[in-house]
Amino acid sequence: MYPISQKLPQELHNSQQLLQTIVDHTNACIFVKEYLQTNGTYLLINQQFETLFNISREQIRGQTDYDLFPPEAADAFRQIDLQVFASGKLIELEEVAPQSDGIHTYISLKFPLLNADGQPYAVCGIARDITERKQAELALQQAKEELEIRVVERTAELQQTVTRLQQEIREREKAEARLRQLFEKSADAILIFDGGVFTDCNQAAVEMMRCANKEQLLSLHPSEISPLTQPDGRGSFEKAEEMIETALQKGSHRFEWVHRRMDGEDFWVEVLLTAIAVDGKQILHVVWREIGDRKADLAQLQHNYNLLHSVIESTPDVVFVKDIEGRYVMINSAFADFIGKSIEKMTNKKDAEIFPRSTALQMRENDLKIMNTGLSETIEEFLPYKDKIKTYLTTKSPWRDGEGNIIGLIGMARDISDRIAAEAALAASEAKFRSIVENANDLIFSFTTDGLFTYLAPNFTDILGYDTQEFLGQSFAPLIHPDDLPRCYAFLARIVATGQKQAGLEFRALRKDGSWCSMIANTSPIKDTDGNVVGFQGIVRDISEQQAARRFRKIAEKEQQRLVAILEATTDFVGVADANGYHTYINQAGRKMVGLELDEDISTIHCMSLVAPAALEATQKAMSIALQEGTWSGETVLLHRNGQEIPVSQVIMVHKSETGEVEFISTIIRDIRDRKQVEAQLQQTRNFLQSVLNTLPVGVIAKDAEELRFVLWNPAAEEVLGLTAEQALGKNEYDFFPKEQADFFTSIDREVLKSKKILDIPEETIQTVTGESRILHTKKTAILDAEGNPQYLLAITEDITERKQAEAALRESEGQLRQQAFELEQTLRELQRTQAQLVQSEKMSGLGQLVAGVAHEINNPTSFIYGNLTHADEYIQDLISLVELYQKHYANPHPEIIEWSKAIELEFLLDDLPKLFKSMKFGADRIQKIVLSLRNFSRMDEAEMKAVNIHDGIDSTLMILSHRLKAQPNRQAIEIIKEYGNLPLVECYAGQLNQVFINILSNAIDALSEGNTSWHSQADPGNEGDEQENTNYQLPIPDYQLPTIRIRTYLDNNWVVIRIADNGSGMTETVQKRIFDPFFTTKPVGQGTGMGLSISYQIITSRHQGSLQCFSSPGKGAEFEIKIPLKTC
């Protein structure tokens, strides 16, 4: 017996040493205080505690918190310890403790230690230093305050930005309205030539050829809509094939051609053939332009110049053009007004003659960069104005001649230095609006959704003759022509449906004198704070005079065209010569063209004598061709008697007899000096207009009216829509968007072409080909030909994404500060929730590691003890048998043996020793079960899915919580009812699932420990798979009068279901709705973080793709249902 009695204390000592080693090597502070017999004296501390508080184990024995810490800190520690000791519950809280380097914050986990009788005798604490995280939270709070300050500052900036943007929008809309006129007319015919036939054409081509319809034109070969021979004597078919082949080889080909209309009239056109690749083959894009009307070209040139000049002079921005040397060749009035000099005095001046030297040098450097790179650029330039410096946002583009050479630059500059204070603008806005309304030529109105006028501008009387009081509060319907009322109501219904402004409603209104006038209206909805339309407001303009003027102007234009055609026909040189080339007739226009007197004898004048020497050889070859082929057409040069050379286009026709002999030669010659000059000017104008288009900050896009293919795409459109002109031209929406979206865009375009009205789309959100989402302000209109038929669709679009973002930010800053605060609070709560989750995860990970280490270290000595129990049992039985043999064979032992046997109560010892050993074996079995539970529970930090037994996880959790299930002063012991189904191994995050079990079971224990003296029971509903409505919840626990937790598991199709129910006090519907919210708790401060069920919900739903629900009613207990998808091994 001596060896055994010596061996067991040694093993106990070894086990204690192992446990102390584990405790000493954790980075958390661990301590034990005794409260059963003393008032909190320290029984145990680990090395981390010694290090942090600079005290050894020997020094701390017999001391309390009051010996180590200031009284206020010791009071706080003592209060929490007593609460843990009295309640028998585990408590997690934050505590602060003074150390040598300052105050530190700890996350403490405190729980009672129980003696052999199950009574608490001490409090054990595990504390982790979170000082650095608390400092981070403080920094986060400071960052939040700084963010709120920045929000206020940004709000003020955005308010100023919106004011500036609104002014810019108004200015741009004025400029757009003027520039739009540049694209309203086009006389070009456009066709597609593929495989020897025309496959498509626009209406201009049909009308130019005077075909009955499009199909008739498409059925003809180019040679069939031409005379048999061209003016150069070559056959139309042969020459057409040659021109087509040249275009296909070179990529494009421009030439002049004589076409013959369906009514037999021949006319000249300029033809541009452009080869394009479609579906892997080459087709031709054909453009015809009539070139017979020189005066029309001149008039158009003057019109374009006047229109461009009006636009430039009307814009408030500075516009200028410089030559290659930096001299101003054109400036607008805005620039001249800024400098304070007339346009004449500034023309041909350089910047050095106008501005200070440093300013001029910087501007010249900027100009040279543009002209050297050939690229447009937008820069800020600082110009002196009076006694201050103004900042201009200047866009400069290269100015090119007809051959593409850079001959200067074009610039547009906007003054961005003035910033009108938002407060002043807002204060003056009402007065300005009223002034505008009262002085506007248009009628401004508002009325309710029932059509009753609530406001009429004073000029209502001037326009319609009624006094405003006659119609205030009355319906607008009596003023509208009965035939137009349905369109008006549909117009208003569209506003209500879309909630957006509608424009361009035309109708007839009744004047007081009984006459009707034509009106056009733009109307916007009036909305209440909930966004509901409660009325309408808008502007009405009397367009009676404009409509009449428009009709008159169209009639006048047609008459002018016929008159010009007649007058121009008399300017051509028409001559006849005999077979030898001597003139027999020259008309008056021809005599004037070459300087002959009207009555001069021309019979001795040879036709070649009128040709300039430089063109004589080419003209003689042309004559030879005409003599052979019968006709020749082309360009040559005549010689005036004063020596002036005259460029002309000429047709030579040789008239032969039936025998083939030449009878006479006729010619038609047209002076093309003006046309050549016009062509050069037109080319320069085109280059200038192209530079303007390239400089405009808004996207300008044009489509042909037939197929809606892109024919114009400026650089701003490339930037806005993410497509280059090369990618877009010749294609339509179906090449870039899904069919449904392309159908939508096409339907809108067709409607615009059909209505011939301007469509204003204030906002539309598009997805560019690069994937960006942008908000655009787009206006669309049809460009009509001379007959008023749509030829092109013009779209001007502006990227207002940043402006809308600024407006949204301004609205938020003006009217939704509370929303911002709410969002900031939500963000902070989300950060706090994330931090709490991290803390919880770190805590559970640390706890899992600690528990796993403790379980491992306990298991080693326990396994040693358990492994020797068998041998110990044999040894004990052998010793007892030996004693019994001694008693049997030595009935009269020595007196000293008898005395010692009585002293040790040998009979009792022999009877009790087997019982003692059985008790030790039971204890060892119990330790093994505890170790197994600790091991299962320590899976908290496992990151991978593993196949586990769900029931083992539940049992391990119950083992960890077993001390809380025992009877407490305020309640009886909690009974656990297990109804486990037949579940396979399930793939899951076992540690996280154990965390869910411990959270739910801890809450159930808390609910049963809230001082209830009776527990609720209902009949089992019977169907485990059904979910009950909260108001009809029936607790699935039989009629038990003790505090009870029922745990059920079963399979429901491919789902594993775990239901945990208690017969506690239940919860209200309000509490139940928030039970999974972060930080929500019904426990007193310091007893719960409100994160347990929130984290459990995330573990089940996010990590396991399952569901977690709670069913409860007040007074009827609560049940949590966990469902996770079955993934069996």
Spell out the domain ranges in the chain: 2-129, 165-183+696-812, 189-291, 298-415, 426-548, 570-677, 942-1129
Band of the pLDDT at 15, cuts 50, 70, 90? very low
pLDDT > 50? residue 564: no
pLDDT above 60 for 1013 = no
Mean pLDDT lowest among 302-306, 308-312, 1031-1035? 1031-1035
DSSP assignment of 707-764 equals: T--EEEE-HHHHHHHS--HHHHTT--GGGTS-HHHHHHHHHHHHHHHHHTS-EEEEEE
Residue predicted with more confidence, 1129 or 1110: 1110
Quick one: average pLDDT of 1016-1030? Answer: 42
Residue 475 burial (C-beta neighbours within 10 Å; 0-12, 13-18, 19+)? middle
Predicted local confidence at residue 420, as pLDDT: 34
Across the chain, mean pLDDT equals 80
pLDDT band at 1018 (very low <50, low <70, confident <90, very high): very low
The rounded distance, in Å, linking the Cα atoms of 774 and 776 is 6
**Residue 285 or 551, more confident:** 285
pTM (global) more than 0.75: no
Strand 975-979 to 1044-1052 pairing: parallel
Classify residue 225 by its DSSP letter.
Answer: G
Confidence of residue 183 (pLDDT cuts 50, 70, 90): very low
Torsional sign, CA 11, 12, 15, 17? negative
Residue 63 confidence (pLDDT) above 60? yes
Asked whether the predicted pLDDT for residue 6 surpasses 80, the reply is no
Mean pLDDT for 24-31 is 73
Residue 840: its pLDDT value, please? 56
pLDDT at 427: 44
Q: Report the distance separating Cα 514 and Cα 243, nearest Å.
A: 64
| Residues 241-256, mean pLDDT to the nearest whole number | 90
Q: Which CATH architecture has domain 189-291?
A: 2-Layer Sandwich (3.30)
Q: Give the pLDDT score at 937.
A: 56
Label residue 984 by pLDDT band (50, 70, 90).
very high
> Cα dihedral angle (18, 19, 23, 26), rounded to 10 degrees?
60
pLDDT at residue 79 tops 80: yes
Q: Express as a percent the part of the chain with pLDDT over 70.
A: 78
The domain defined by 570-677 folds into Beta-Lactamase (3.30.450)
Residue 13 scores a pLDDT above 70: no
The pLDDT tens digits for 465-503 are: 899 888 899 999 999 999 999 999 999 999 999 989 999
| Architecture of the domain made up of 2-129 | 2-Layer Sandwich (3.30)
The Cα 189–Cα 203 span in angstroms is 8
Q: Is the pLDDT of residue 1035 over 70?
A: no
pLDDT > 70? residue 857: no
Do the beta carbons of residue 940 and residue 848 sit within 8 Å?
Answer: yes
Among the ranges given (197-201, 934-938, 977-981, 1039-1043), the one the predictor scored with the smallest mean pLDDT: 934-938
Please say whether the dihedral angle defined by the alpha carbons of residues 454, 457, 463 and 466, taken in this order, is positive or negative.
positive
Q: Specify the CATH architecture of the domain 942-1129.
A: 2-Layer Sandwich (3.30)
More confident call, 501 vs 11: 501
The secondary structure element, H or E, covering residue 909 is: helix 906-937
- Contact indicator for 474, 503 with CB cutoff of 8 Å: no
Torsion of CA 773, 774, 779, 780, to 10 degrees: -30
Cβ-based neighbour number of residue 829 at 10 Å: 13
Provide the residue type at 287 as one letter.
V
CA nearest to 774, candidates 819, 723, 735:
723
Q: Give pLDDT, residue 207.
A: 87
Q: Which fold has domain 165-183+696-812?
A: Beta-Lactamase (3.30.450)
Any idea which of 139-148, 699-708, 923-932, 969-978 has the lowest mean pLDDT? 923-932
- Residues 6 or more apart whose CB falls under 8 angstroms from that of 539 comprise 440, 442, 443, 444, 445, 521, 522
60 pLDDT more than 90: no
> Which CATH number does the domain 426-548 belong to among 3.40.50.880, 3.30.450.20, 3.30.565.10, 3.40.50.720?
3.30.450.20
Q: Residue 448: what pLDDT?
A: 93
What's the topology of domain 298-415? Beta-Lactamase (3.30.450)
Contacts by 786-789, CB closer than 8 A, 24 or more apart: 786/185, 786/187, 786/557, 786/558, 786/561, 787/207, 788/554, 788/756, 789/203, 789/207, 789/705
For range 969-987, the mean pLDDT: 90
Average pLDDT value for residue range 833-859? 60
In angstroms, the CA 370 to CA 379 distance is 11
Among 438-442, 454-458, 1118-1122, the range with the most confident prediction by mean pLDDT is: 1118-1122
**pLDDT value of residue 704:** 92
Over range 320-344, report the average pLDDT: 88
User: Tens of pLDDT along 761-770?
Assistant: 888 888 777 7
| Residue 751: predicted pLDDT | 92
User: Which candidate, 1033, 1024, 1029, places its Cα nearest to that of 1051?
Assistant: 1024
Q: What is the mean pLDDT of residues 540-566?
A: 69
pLDDT of residue 730 exceeding 70? yes
Instruction: Answer for the pair 485, 477: CB distance below 8 angstroms, yes or no.
Output: yes
Spell 535-566 as b/e; 16+ CB within 10 A means b: bbbbbbbbeeeeeeeeeeeeeeeeeeeeeeee
Whether pLDDT at 75 is above 60: yes
- Identify the pLDDT of residue 1085: 57
The DSSP-derived string for 507-559 is EEEE-TTS-EEEEEEEEEEEE-TTS-EEEEEEEEEE-HHHHHHHHHHHHHHHH
Same fold, 570-677 and 942-1129: no
Rounded Cα gap, residues 556 and 559, in angstroms? 5
Q: Residue 189 pLDDT more than 70?
A: yes
Is a pLDDT exceeding 90 seen at residue 772?
A: no
pLDDT tens digit string along 586-622?
A: 888 888 889 998 888 988 999 999 999 999 999 999 9
Quick one: pLDDT at residue 12? 46
Q: Residue 957 — pLDDT band, cuts 50, 70, 90?
A: confident
Confidence of residue 892 (pLDDT cuts 50, 70, 90): confident
